[in-house]
Structure 1
Amino acid sequence: MMKHLIYIILLGIFLSSCTKNFEETNTNPNGTPTALPQQLLAPALVSTLSYNMLRNRNFNNELMQVTVNISDAEGQVFRYDFRSTWADYLYNGLYSELTNFKDIYTSASDELNYNKSYMGISLICQSWIYSILTDTYGDIPYFQSNLAKDSGIYEPRFDAQRDIYSDIFKKLDTANTLLSAGTAINASSDPVYNGDVAKWRKFGNSLYLRLLLRVSAKSDSAVLKIKDIVETNKGNYPIMTSNSESAILRWTGVGPYSSPYLSVREQDFRSPGIASFFIDNLAQWNDPRIDIPTYGTNGFNRWGIAPYSGSYQGIPSGYAPGENPVKKCYFYSNTSAVSLMTEPMTGMMMNYAELQFILAEAAAKGWISGSAETYYNTGALNSITQWIPTWPVSITTWLAAADIEWLNDETLDQKMEKIHRQKYYALFLTDMQQWFEYRRTGHPYLPKGAGLRNDGVMPARMTYPVYVQSTNPTNYKLAIASQGPDEISTQVWWQKP
């Protein structure tokens, strides 16, 4: 029994569905024996985004040249050199939240609490979380995960990523059908859309397109499904149509809705410098998101980046030990000024601009009709106006001035670089999506420093948590025998040639 309990704790398959800061949801002896969907949804969303945001900050941003830690120590992520202990946090956290979202589905399926919308939202959130897990680690426990409490499965098998994606698509189709009924939910239970079920449906179908594109190189049926959603059967698959429909949990600073960035010490938050790649593009384009005259408050810009001597200068990523670059720009951390620590929109799940760049790629590759240029321009515009709604400049004028306008006679690779360089900024703060998309496409082109490890190749995955080798040894060995060595260089299914 003790062995089984250890498995439950370590594998993130928890007996309780409680979440940090929401303990009374399942432990109040005067409440219902099983938590209701409206009690579980908000805490599960808050906790999931907390895991995503903290790993975005110190893992994704370091790999993808948003920030650079100033250190010559071993295990620096920006040098493609990270310890196996990095794996535990996201793996444990997201599996624990899957328990909560599965409990939402179970409760909403009950005759007394029956609610199609909560069921659909649960399936969307499960798909969102499982996709992050499998894109981070590769083959993972899926069909047998989170079943310790109900089925006594303490050593779940690892499923092939191909099969995981196939089932995720089934979940998203089912969610679309469930949400089409428009069953009302408690607005106060929903910190993302305030109870607007139609927007949840649009998010689910937009997420569907993100994931179909992710596996498009491995699946002709995924390409056909993209066309089905966007054109053939679009009336049955509504997708986001504006920034107002972006899936963002906006931190209010009240009660549980305080940004997880506030848990980071201010000196640690501003410790990494801004990478040259991230800041140089914005400066070269005169991008309003860092343009002080356009959006200046106390000397800082929309993203709370502190300028250096009146200009924006970054640190080359991947620098070799001993080069000792000087930190110039960084994300400001004073919570009384403009800062990402208190920014309401950092709870990013998926935004409208990302969807437009998905459509731009699909159109450029001839999978859907419509103008790739129009999708590209709309994506670039909304990536900016999401942060600066009153930006007065014509997007075509701005793109031309920055020398990044769409040109139909360019090669497909040149078009992909343009799309993904803009998409890189649209994905800012969105869990590990920048890293996933770079691994899928090789875009945007990132400069390579002399200090990179892993033969200078972007890591293809995180390794599994070390404890999995001892708590689930048989299935761990089967997983690496199928997928490849448990190393950062082993490519996941959708990334393999």
Structure 2
Amino acid sequence: MNSSWKKYLLLVLTGLTLGSCSNFEEINTNPNAATKASASMLATTLILDISKNALGSISPMMNDKSIIRMEFPENAQYNYLGRTSFDGLTVLNNIEKMVALSPEGAYKNSYTALGKFVKAYKFFWLSMQLGDIPYTQALLGEKGTLNPAYSPQKEVMVGVLNDLEEADKLFAAGIKFDGDPIYGGDITKWRKFVNTFELQVLLHLYRKTADTDLKVKERFSAIVTGKPIFDSNSDNFQVVYSDLAGQRYPFYKLGNTTRIYTMVSNVVVDKLKALDDYRLFYYADPSPIRTAKGAAVDSWDAYAGYDPSMVYADLTVIYAGKDYSNVNSRYLELANAEPVYVLSYAMSRFMLAEASVRGWITGAASTYYSDGIRASMKFTAGNTPDNVLFHHNRKLTDSYIETYIASDKVKLKTTQSVAVQLEQIINQRYLSTFMLHAPYDAFFENRRTGFPVFPINPKSNLNVPSDKFPIRWIYPQKELDYNTENVNNAIKSQYSGNDDYNQTMWILQ
């Protein structure tokens, strides 16, 4: 986390007194605390809110089948999604206030751009979970709309794309702004983030390329050819940690028992082994049982991953026997282990590779694909101290990286079908996000394309039917209780009145 993070966090958590004080309040007011909101403080609130999606929750990793957790049977591991919540939208009430408090001119452009981006980001991911959501009438409670109608998912997506494009234009006409703990108010980096995120949105709309309102391919190509996007790891939208209270890596050992119960899945381990990929030795520790029997820590056979869909009782036997690979000890031992990101340069290169394979852009898919692998490996190597405990004598050197990319097992199979190439691209995207962790990225990629392929076990799957993965969350109980008519209308119009986990929303049709 950068040096300004703690300062901003403390400001955000400070009470914001907007009215006059009584004599008692004046006497007891901390002269060093903020007593009035400012545009920069509200900007911090908004940026921290979207940053928290990167803060290393174990649940998305179980959902993405990269981590097995053994403290007790986990809903996320066994495909129970549950109800989502609209509570995360309340932070958007800060946008109008932030813009109103910002100075006129270039500063207001920057803060307005930030507001449009955060709004687009929040509504996009909520719609991706559910389908239709309150959108055009959302956040109007102060103006009397307490029961907002639902907007069709297409309308949400059109609004998201328009807000992202407007945010880019406003940032371009803006100036460095205060209150940004990630990019330090650098508008060029924000433009890159906004445009790269729009590429991600457009790929999720790949089934809608014939829709003239969306103009999916045209928008994608225009961004790649004419707007700034991520062009190095330094552009990642990520949280950087340090060895200070409240700023340490989420899985650091101090007061953290998470790693006691974790195992790395075979979805990750077997893919890395099949590709002779040294990231295995940075992501995982060897099985203590196998090393005790003489296996070297740099031996592929020393590492063991297991099926995350295995019945919990069977996994407990393996867990008790300790013949498995846990996550690499660097995640436990280093307070600043590595940054955790929402969106990365490596991911963006894999997006471009996919777009090229689909014929949306003219650049070589193999080049974008290679760039993504290189960025992922350099990120891992650059954030790992040169310690045998952390790389197990299999260093990700520049020479190794180039040899790996050029190997027959890894290089993009450009003469084969689109499906074959997409599987390679998305598998590498999946491997690049291990423990970092773009939240639910692999879940949405699997839902969108079928890759990476996840194991499913009817004996352990909590979804009904038990031979299928769920593809959406269900609507919040609060909506059913307090906005009953509108949510029921949305359920009826989309899903014939059946709000369950297997219904196919518009974006997937």
Q: TM-score normalised by the shorter chain: which range applies?
A: 0.7 to 0.9
Structure 2 residue aligned with 1:249: 239
CA distance in 1, matches of 2:200, 2:420: 21
Within 5 A, what are the aligned runs for 1:401-412?
401=407, 403-412=409-418
Inter-CA distance 143–370: structure 2 relative to 1 (3 Å threshold): same
Distance 2:170 2:308 in 1: 46
1:164 is matched with 156
Identify if the C-alpha distance between structure 1 residues 105 and 481 changes in structure 2 by more than 3 Å, giving closer, same or farther: farther
The answer on 1:491 being equivalent to 2:490 is: no
Judged with a 3 Å threshold, the aligned counterparts in structure 2 of structure 1 residues 336 and 106 are, in CA distance, closer, same or farther, namely: same
Partner residue of 2:129 out of 111, 117, 136: 136
| Distance in 2 of aligned mates of 1:333 and 1:141 | 44
SS in 2 for 1:266: coil
1:297 — aligned with what? Answer: none
**CA–CA separation in structure 2 for the residues paired with 1:474 and 1:261:** 43
Partner secondary structure for residue 248 of structure 1: strand
Matches within 5 A, 1:72-91: 73=73, 76-84=75-83, 87-88=84-85, 91=86
Q: How many Å separate the matches in 2 of 1:335 and 1:396?
A: 26
Tell me if structure 2 keeps the 8 A contact 1:127–1:171.
yes
The 2-side partners of 1:20 and 1:464 are apart by: 33
Asked whether 1:473 is paired with 2:481, we answer no
- 1:14 aligns with none
Please report how far the alpha carbon of residue 457 of structure 1 lies from its aligned counterpart in structure 2 after TM superposition. 2.0
Distance 1:141 1:20 in 2: 32
One-letter amino acid of the structure 1 residue matched with residue 318 of structure 2: V
Correspondence for 2:307: 316
Q: Find out whether 1:45 has 2:47 as its counterpart.
A: yes
**Separation in 1 of the partners of 2:378 and 2:152?**
39
Show the counterpart of 1:23: 13
User: Match of 2:152, as an amino acid?
Assistant: A
2:199–2:351 contact (8 Å) kept in structure 1: yes
**1:96-135 mapped onto 2 (5 Å cutoff):** 96-108=90-102, 111=104, 114-135=107-128
8 Å CA contact retained: 1:216, 1:222: yes
Question: Distance between the aligned counterparts of 2:9 and 2:486, measured in 1?
Answer: 28
Residues 189-208 of structure 1: pairs in structure 2 closer than 5 A: 189-208=179-198
| Deviation sequence 1:36-83 (CA, Å, 0-9, x none) | 2211222332243335546x521x22222111233775x632222354
Specify the SS of the correspondent of 2:381: coil
Residues 440, 494 of structure 1: 8 Å contact kept: no
- Whole-angstrom CA distance in 2 between matches of 1:491 and 1:181: 40
Cα drift, residue 473 of structure 1: 0.6
1:281 maps to what in 2?
Answer: 271
Deviations 1:407-436 (A, max 9, x none): 221111100000000011234401122211
Which residue matches 2:286?
Answer: 307
Match of 2:171 among 158, 166, 179: 179
Shift of 1:382: 0.5
Amino acid corresponding to residue 43 of structure 1 in structure 2: T
Report the secondary structure of 1:273's partner residue: strand
8 Å contact from structure 2 (residues 66, 264) kept in 1: yes
Give the 3-state SS of the residue equivalent to 2:207 in structure 1: coil
Describe the shift of the 1:393–1:157 C-alpha distance in structure 2 as closer, same or farther (beyond 3 A).
farther
Deviation at 1:255, TM superposition (A): 6.5
Distance 2:140 2:249 in 1: 31
Counterpart of 2:17 in structure 1: which amino acid? Answer: T
Correspondence for 2:461: 452
Give the aligned partner of residue 385 of structure 2: none
3-state SS, counterpart of residue 257 of structure 2 = helix
Give 1:331's aligned residue. 327
Cα distance change of structure 1 residues 265 and 97 upon mapping to structure 2, 3 Å threshold: farther
The one-letter amino acid paired with 2:159 is D
**Conserved 8 A contact 2:331-2:337:** no
Consecutive unaligned residues of structure 1, counting only runs of 5 or more, are 1-17, 292-300
Mapped partners of 2:326, 2:94: distance in 1:
36
Query: Cα 1:111–1:277, aligned 2, differ >3 Å: closer, same or farther?
Result: same
Residues 189-235 of structure 1: per-residue CA shift (max 9 Å, x gap): 2121122111101110111111011112123311121112223xx1x
Deviation larger for 132-141 or 161-170: 132-141
> Residues 317-346 of structure 1, C-alpha deviation per residue, up to 9 Å, x if partnerless?
2113543351322336788614xx753411
Instruction: Specify the alignment match of 1:11 in structure 2.
Output: none
The answer as to 2:403 corresponding to 1:397 is yes
**Equivalent of residue 224 in structure 2, options 230, 236, 240:** 230
Conservation of the 8 A alpha-carbon contact between 1:116 and 1:179 = yes
| Distance in 1 separating the partners of 2:476 and 2:482 | 10
Query: Within 1, Cα distance between the matches of 2:37 and 2:420?
Result: 52
Residue 176 of structure 1, CA deviation: 1.0
User: Which protein is bigger by CA-based radius of gyration?
Assistant: 2
Instruction: Please say if residues 63 and 435 of structure 1, whose CA atoms lie closer than 8 Å, have aligned partners that are also in contact.
Output: yes
Which stretch shows the higher mean deviation, 364-373 or 261-270?
261-270
Structure 2 gaps of 5+ residues are: 1-7, 22-30, 289-296, 383-395
- In structure 2, C-alpha distance between the alignment counterparts of 1:333 and 1:106, rounded to whole Å: 48
* 2:113–2:167 Cα contact (<8 Å) kept: yes
1:440 CA displacement: 0.8
Identity, % of aligned positions: 23
- The answer to whether the 8 Å contact 2:12/2:44 transfers is no
Name the amino acid aligned to 2:182.
Answer: V
Which secondary structure state, in structure 2, belongs to the residue aligned with residue 217 of structure 1? helix
How many Å separate the matches in 2 of 1:265 and 1:154?
Answer: 42
The alpha-carbon distance between structure 1 residues 307 and 42, as it changes in their structure 2 partners (threshold 3 A), is: farther
Q: Which residue of 2 aligns with 1:95?
A: 89
Match of 2:202 among 212, 231, 238: 212
Q: CA deviation at 1:20?
A: 8.6
TM-score by structure 2 length? 0.80
3-state SS of paired residue (2:333)? coil
Where does residue 345 of structure 2 map in the other structure? 352
**Pair 1:377 & 2:393 matched:** no
CA contact (8 A) 2:330 2:337 kept: no
Q: Distance in 2 between matches of 1:38 and 1:137?
A: 32
Deviates further, 136-145 or 41-50: 41-50
Q: Is this contact kept in 1: 2:133–2:153, CA < 8 A? A: yes
d(CA) in 2 for partners of 1:358, 1:209: 7
* TM-score for both structures, normalised by structure 1: 0.82
Aligned positions, number: 449
Partner AA of 1:70 in structure 2: M
Q: Any conservation in 1 of the 2:134–2:151 contact (CA below 8 Å)?
A: yes
Counterpart in 1 of 2:429? 423
Counterpart of 1:446, as a letter, is F
